[in-house]
Amino acid sequence: MGIETAVFEMSAGLADQLPVSTVPEIAFSGRSNAGKSSLINRLLSRKSLARISSAPGKTATINFYNLGFCRFVDLPGYGYAKVSKAEKLRWSDLAEGYFRQWRNLRLVVQLMDFRHAPAAADLQMIRYLRDAEIPCLVAAMKSDKLNKTARTAQETAYKGQFAPYPDIQVIPCSAVSGEGVDVIMKKIFAVCQNKMK
């Protein structure tokens, strides 16, 4: 299975601009700079369909990409200190607005930086997704940046952090080496075929 076409569909800066949820949606969530846009490009084998930040905090809108059988939803990154309070509020209203609406949401790919322990906001997001019964997986990004020792240490640390969530798969992933990308794409195909109606 491969992706034949993926096109940029639209950007929403405010929750009331979000498009009606028709096709299954796969949302990408995580801190600013975690690699959401990079992972989307890698999954779609596209160099720059989703814009990559040169500095964190660049994706300030929800961006939709249409793959035909589903949509990828690039959510604004959270946790970036250098944006104004007003801008932070707009982002959180936007992301919360997305989750609060009824949407044909099949999976949240929750990105974390595998070089670091999950941030408090990441764990808060995981708790929210679990309480809302939204299927999710963790993409532990930038695995290419870890040497063997660091990787073993982080694998142990993440195992501990996710012990309370045995159903949540943690997938070491890299937009550079491509590690984990096939596993995530397979999961995306699977959740989209499994109709919710």
> Where on the chain is the footprint of ligand GTP (CB under 6 A)?
30, 32-38, 52-53, 56-59, 77, 141-142, 144-145, 174-176
Which residue of 33, 37, 41, 110 would you call a contact of Mg ion, by CB under 5 A?
37
Residue recorded with tokens 């982002």: 91
38/154 with CB nearer Mg ion: 38
Q: Using CB positions, name the residue nearest to ligand GTP.
A: 77
Pull the structure tokens for residue 145.
């940046």
Least distance to Mg ion, CB of residue 67, Å:
18
Minimum CB distance to ligand GTP, residue 196 (Å): 27
What is the spatial distance between Cα 162 and Cα 145, in angstroms, rounded to a whole number?
22
Give SS3 for 170.
Answer: strand
Task: Return the sign of the alpha-carbon dihedral for residues 104, 57, 185, 71.
Answer: positive
**One-letter amino acid of 58:** K
Residue 142 binds which of Mg ion, ligand GTP, none (CB < 5-8 A, kind-dependent): ligand GTP
Q: Which is nearer to ligand GTP, 52 or 119 (CB)?
A: 52
Closer CB to ligand GTP, residue 38 or residue 110? 38
**DSSP alpha helices (H): ranges in 28-176?**
36-43, 85-100, 120-131, 148-161
**Block residue for tokens 């964190």:** 56
- What does the block give as tokens for 21? 């949820």
Position 110 contacts Mg ion (CB under 5 A)? no
Tell me which residues touch Mg ion (CB under 5 A).
Answer: 36-37, 59
